[in-house]
Amino acid sequence: MGRKSKADSASPSDPGPSLAAGSELVDRAQDEVAEVMGDIAEFWGFTRTMGRIFGFVYMSPEPVEQATVRTRLAISAGSASTTMTALLDWGVLRREGRLYVAETNFFKLITAVLRQREAARIEAGIERARTVLELLRQGPADDPRVAFARQRAEHMLGFFEMGRAFLEAFVERSPIRAILNGLARTASRLRPASLPHPNSLAQAGEAGVRDDFDITLDESDDDQEQHDRIDA
């Protein structure tokens, strides 16, 4: 009988040097991506642990147990359990029995965040801007300070509403070309009231208020030219 080579005599369960090296490279990649996702999560206002867990599971070649996540990322059992439950709620992770896998559709992840958090903040801003505007509309029409504040509140409300329209278009994957054109036209009209000269408030009458603080709704030639370029 011929002499067996080392390869022939190796145990079937022995990963061999090449597989061991590959496993080490994957581990390093997992660690690096976990830190990258941790940075991104912090930037978006989430906890760093949420990002690290997602990054680790995302780079895992196979579904992982919670214990594996705890060990590799050196986090407590309580932190891992709470954070991974939150990630399941956000749709960032999915469960397959006792194992976890990562959502790989990044557009889906972003829109989930926008739907659940950013949209709520914009809506809250719109409601508060409307409250301020209604308050100012109760003031005397000939008071230049009230007129100035009212114009600023109207400008803020218009900006928030424009942001909501853009967010809805992005989240719903609607054809946004026409929407963007409309938003560009709206933006060109939303000019905030200029800060008045210190002496102008005492001197301005109702006519002065109208001259100084009204927002021009008619598009200028420059605005129209800009919109034509967008439409082109």
Q: Give the closest residue to 129 by CA, choosing from 147, 144, 107, 151.
A: 151
Residues 6+ apart with CB under 8 A from 206: 141, 142
User: Residue 9: is its pLDDT beyond 80?
Assistant: no
pTM tops 0.85: no
Least confident of 119-128, 141-150, 223-232: 223-232
Sheet with 99-102: strands ordered across: 64-65, 99-102, 93-96
- pLDDT tens for 94-133 read 999 999 999 988 878 887 777 777 777 788 888 888 889 8
* The pLDDT of residue 214: 41
Q: Give the closest residue to 59 by CA, choosing from 20, 19, 100.
A: 100
